[in-house]
């Protein structure tokens, strides 16, 4: 998959997350996705922060969202590399976060 247009992708990504629409977020991922996160490492220490597969990612995000009902992301910046997008945002707690998405 070529790197998508950074502005339209980020707009869709933020809308899906801010609506808590996990199914919409998952449309951007392959069935064999490998997802790593320090939050996943804290919530599910037995997996070492790495989630394999779209079904497992759906379960993780659904469970995690239930613990953060006020989840909200505000865009700070987005950067595009070769087959990469870096989305820098501020979460509902005011923390700066970077999401790095790699595209095949």
Identify the pLDDT of residue 1. Answer: 55
For position 2, what pLDDT does the model report? 73
pLDDT means per 10 residues, the chain with 104 residues, are 87 96 93 91 88 94 91 97 95 96 88
Token representation of residue 82: 């070769």
Q: Which residues of 48-69 are buried (b: 16+ CB within 10 A; e: fewer)?
A: eeebeebeebbebbeebeeeee
Q: Using CA atoms, how far apart are residues 55 and 61, in angstroms rounded to an integer? A: 10
């Amino acid at each position: 998959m070529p790197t998508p247009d950074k502005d339209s992708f980020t707009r869709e990504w933020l809308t899906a997350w801010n609506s808590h629409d996990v199914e919409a977020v998952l449309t951007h991922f392959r069935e064999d996705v490998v997802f790593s996160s320090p939050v996943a490492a804290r919530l599910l220490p037995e997996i070492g922060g790495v989630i394999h597969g779209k079904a497992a990612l759906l379960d993780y995000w659904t469970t995690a969202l239930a613990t953060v009902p006020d989840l909200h992301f505000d865009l700070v910046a987005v950067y595009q590399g070769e087959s990469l997008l870096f989305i820098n945002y501020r979460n509902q707690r005011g923390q700066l976060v970077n999401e790095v998405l790699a595209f095949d």
